[in-house]
Structure 1
Amino acid sequence: MPGHRSKSSEKHADGGGAKPLRRDPYEVLGVSRNSTDQEIKTAYRKMALKYHPDKNANDPKAADMFKEVTFSYNILSDPDKRRQFDTAGFEAVESDNQELELDLSSLGAVNTMFAALFSKLGVPIKTTVSATVLEEALNGVVTIRPLPLGQFISRRVEKQCAHFYSVTITEEEAQAGFVCRVHSSDKSKFKLLYFDQEENGGLSLALQEDCAKTGKVTSAGMFFLGFPVYRLDQTMNSISAAKDPDTSFFRKLEGFQPCELTELKAGTHVFAVYGDNFFKSANYTIEALCAAPFSEEKENLRNIEAQILSKRAEISKFETEYREVLAQFTEMTSRYANEMQEIDELLKQRNEIHAAYTVAPLKRSSSKSRNKSSSNEAKEEGQTKEKRNTRERPKKKRWYNIHLRVDKRKAC
């Protein structure tokens, strides 16, 4: 089918820019414009596995094709971006800022260290499941352990490896709802995976959920409750949003999207825990539960997610009002600063005019002359006080001026 070309792409094709011409994402994935999300996802996984760097280590064309396939899927897997692309092409989806998913097993040691550093600094880096794991699952050569309902299993999975589990549910349990949860008290990074069973006995990846920090643990869960359950992709637009706190707030709920599957049929289902750490293994605990005893939790979840959807619509409208008021506030604060500066300048000029009303200029004596005059005055004042005290002081008799009387009538 003919490729969808935007205006910017036509300019680049005419030699007006350095960017290469991008192909229509529908054409890249080999799907039609009315394809379902599941059809797009299936096409992407087949092509990603075909052109994965693990299988084409010395083929640069395959590496470019893998990037193009991933780039196209990032557009078509997001309902908003897909709608924007269908309306206005690549320009509408901000193609320069698209994030690619990284396969850690295909990175060298140096690149892995840089990726780990960025992750520690809070820069979200999306990772994908290793092609080796996907290929082994597709060929049916993985070891699958049984996971009984209502029980948990704690294990350690190596980086870029996966542990597979099978869960069998009855018709009654399927109607009541089913939940699979994984958590790590060590805050290890992992993915929870769900696989469809192929006719040849192999397994194809159908769903994946990245772990997220919730309190003192990292956790991920899949909820098949018979009604639409939503997942929150916290990395969506997070890099661009980190540049502006306001944008971070208004984009916080953009990644709140419905899960592809809402219920499971009776039978055996396969889940896996994938070690997504950069350098070390991941400790985890997995459990499978029937939702029958959790009727109150099911109703609360339905109500809370309905409120979140309503809040997302309100925030979208509130953003427009907020931006308008913020622009007015910025204008007012700028005017406030200018008005204050002008008032201070006018008062300064007024004081200078007041000071000009004088005939004789003020004589300013130096500090030395002031100190000298003050010391002379103090000296003169001290001498005056001393003279005054001398006049007023009474004369004291000395012992040698004492008059001694002698009686001459008595003999000595």
Structure 2
Amino acid sequence: MPGHRSKSEKHDDGEKQLRRDPYEVLGVSRNSMDQEIKTAYRKMALKYHPDKNANDPKAADMFKEVTFSYNILSDPDKRRQYDSAGFEAVESDNQELELDLSSLGAVNTMFAALFSKLGVPIKTTVSASVLEEALNGLVTIRPLPLGHYVSKRVEKQCAHFYSVTITEEEARAGFVCRVLSSDKSKFKLLYFDQEDNGGLSLALQEDSAKTGKITTAGMYFLGFPVYRLDQTMNSIAAKDPDTSFFRKLDGFQPCELNELKAGTHVFAVYGDNFFKSANYTIEALCAAPLSEEKENLRSIEAQILSKRAEISKFEAEYREVLAQFSEMTSRYAHEIQSIDELLKHRNEIHASYTITPFKRSTSKSRSKSSSKENKEDGQTREKRSTRDRPKKKKWYNLHLRVDKRKAC
């Protein structure tokens, strides 16, 4: 397949180089299964890892190219987008990073740890030195009997290996391997395939996740498809509650293996902390006594798959109704504002025609009536004063009594 032209094209001597086809980089066919792609990636990543190729810029470039190619082909959505439209469909600023922190210096390790605490989904890979030692058969493997648990402390970027032996009957009944950390340490639970030369190659990997007050990781081989939930798939969309809700079950994907054959199997606990060792407890269990739990798990995972399909259909309906609701809310606010403005204008008109003239005429009438009343009151008081004033007797009006019997 011809290489697709990328947005981030490199310029070398003025000529543009095309990014190579991810299938070509990993040496797999376009119809390869997920496990084939994963196996090819791990072999090439181990081959070109910076720990093994110090001061080799070509190996460093190959390691980056291999990692970039695997990031596309290991994600079903990105793989489908690439198959249909090439690199343009899968490249974005929010693309997840996959880093091997064991190859970083102290400053860069702190930088990566800071981004991890801030919620940036930085995936980590197992140290190349650990994988190389396992591939060369140079690791110490401790036996882990079924039904027993072991508590240990593993240093950062180091691993403890355990072997578990199961019979045919136990393999048919199902098998579970679980690890927990009561102090919330960060770790990985690993499962290795045994190579013909006696070495071990990494086949499965589960990152620890917080469950209440502890961190846990588990692998379940129960004879029927079991699923794992990748929390990082929707972590970027966590800022948008709606998108986060509808993408919450996108990371619910089937595990690569769902049963183990009788024989000896190797697991490991890898210390994935940035700065400190990890305390853990590992336990291997036969699922024969847990038949009820097996059926409950099968039932609940079937319900989750059904709910995922239901939510996918519900999203389209929700988006449509939400758009209508937003439109109606906008219109509602506009209508409220329009009504308030009309009522305000109406009140202003009422005020100009009734309240102001009424006050003016009332004040004039009051002033006229008050002056008239004052005048009338004055006249009344004048009349009353005239009427009530006693009449003065004049001297010529004096009544003189004369006795007619006496002679003058």
Could you give the per-residue CA deviations for residues 25-56 of structure 1, whole angstroms, max 9, x where no partner exists?
11111111111222111110011111212222
Which of 331, 345, 348 does residue 341 from structure 2 map onto?
345
Deviates more, 1:344-353 or 1:169-178: 344-353
Deviates more, 1:257-266 or 1:56-65: 56-65
Report the equivalent of 1:48.
45
Is 1:3–1:27's contact at 8 Å kept on the other side of the alignment? no
Matched residue type, 2:333: A
Which of 322, 328, 339 does residue 318 from structure 2 map onto?
322
Could you give the per-residue CA deviations for residues 381-406 of structure 1, whole angstroms, max 9, x where no partner exists?
xxxxxxxxxxxxxxxxxxxxxxxxxx
In structure 2, do the counterparts of structure 1 residues 302 and 62 end up closer, same or farther at CA, with 3 Å as the change threshold? same
In structure 2, do the counterparts of structure 1 residues 243 and 23 end up closer, same or farther at CA, with 3 Å as the change threshold? farther
Deviation at 1:224, TM superposition (A): 0.5
Deviation at 1:119, TM superposition (A): 2.2
Deviation at 1:349, TM superposition (A): 1.4
Report the equivalent of 1:264.
260
Report the equivalent of 1:308.
304
Is 1:149–1:290's contact at 8 Å kept on the other side of the alignment? yes
Q: CA separation in 2, counterparts of 1:96 and 1:221?
A: 32
In structure 2, do the counterparts of structure 1 residues 46 and 95 end up closer, same or farther at CA, with 3 Å as the change threshold? farther
Q: CA separation in 1, counterparts of 2:3 and 2:98?
A: 24
Could you give the per-residue CA deviations for residues 361-395 of structure 1, whole angstroms, max 9, x where no partner exists?
769xxxxxxxxxxxxxxxxxxxxxxxxxxxxxxxx
State which structure, 1 or 2, has the greater radius of gyration over its C-alpha atoms: 2
Is 1:71–1:98's contact at 8 Å kept on the other side of the alignment? no
Q: How do 1:358-397 and structure 2 match up within 5 A? A: 358-359=356-357
Report the equivalent of 2:295.
299
Q: CA separation in 2, counterparts of 1:340 and 1:53?
A: 66
Q: TM-score, normalised by structure 1?
A: 0.82
Q: How do 1:63-142 and structure 2 match up within 5 A? A: 63-142=60-139
> Secondary structure, in 3 states, of the residue corresponding to 1:56?
coil
Q: TM-score, normalised by structure 2?
A: 0.83
Could you give the per-residue CA deviations for residues 194-233 of structure 1, whole angstroms, max 9, x where no partner exists?
0001111110000000011111110000000111111111
Matched residue type, 1:330: S
Deviates more, 1:288-297 or 1:44-53: 44-53
- The sequence identity of aligned pairs, in percent, is 88
In structure 2, do the counterparts of structure 1 residues 4 and 257 end up closer, same or farther at CA, with 3 Å as the change threshold? farther
Report the equivalent of 2:277.
281
Q: CA separation in 1, counterparts of 2:47 and 2:295?
A: 43
> Secondary structure, in 3 states, of the residue corresponding to 1:126?
strand
Which of 198, 201, 209 does residue 212 from structure 1 map onto?
209
Is 1:67–1:100's contact at 8 Å kept on the other side of the alignment? no
Q: How do 1:186-265 and structure 2 match up within 5 A? A: 186-239=183-236, 241-265=237-261
Is 2:178–2:217's contact at 8 Å kept on the other side of the alignment? yes
Report the equivalent of 2:2.
3
Q: CA separation in 2, counterparts of 1:42 and 1:156?
A: 29
Deviates more, 1:173-182 or 1:107-116: 107-116
Is 1:212–1:218's contact at 8 Å kept on the other side of the alignment? yes
Deviation at 1:336, TM superposition (A): 1.4
Could you give the per-residue CA deviations for residues 223-271 of structure 1, whole angstroms, max 9, x where no partner exists?
00111111111101421x1231111111111111111111111111100
> Secondary structure, in 3 states, of the residue corresponding to 2:53?
coil
> Secondary structure, in 3 states, of the residue corresponding to 2:123?
coil
In structure 2, do the counterparts of structure 1 residues 19 and 323 end up closer, same or farther at CA, with 3 Å as the change threshold? farther
Is 2:3–2:18's contact at 8 Å kept on the other side of the alignment? no
Q: CA separation in 1, counterparts of 2:28 and 2:360?
A: 93
In structure 2, do the counterparts of structure 1 residues 11 and 57 end up closer, same or farther at CA, with 3 Å as the change threshold? closer
Deviation at 1:11, TM superposition (A): 11
Q: CA separation in 2, counterparts of 1:181 and 1:12?
A: 44
Structure 1 unaligned spans of 5+:
364-412
Q: CA separation in 2, counterparts of 1:37 and 1:287?
A: 28
Is 2:97–2:121's contact at 8 Å kept on the other side of the alignment? no
Is 1:149–1:289's contact at 8 Å kept on the other side of the alignment? yes
Q: CA separation in 2, counterparts of 1:63 and 1:340?
A: 64
Is 2:188–2:206's contact at 8 Å kept on the other side of the alignment? yes
Q: CA separation in 2, counterparts of 1:328 and 1:93?
A: 31
Deviates more, 1:89-98 or 1:164-173: 89-98
Report the equivalent of 1:384.
none
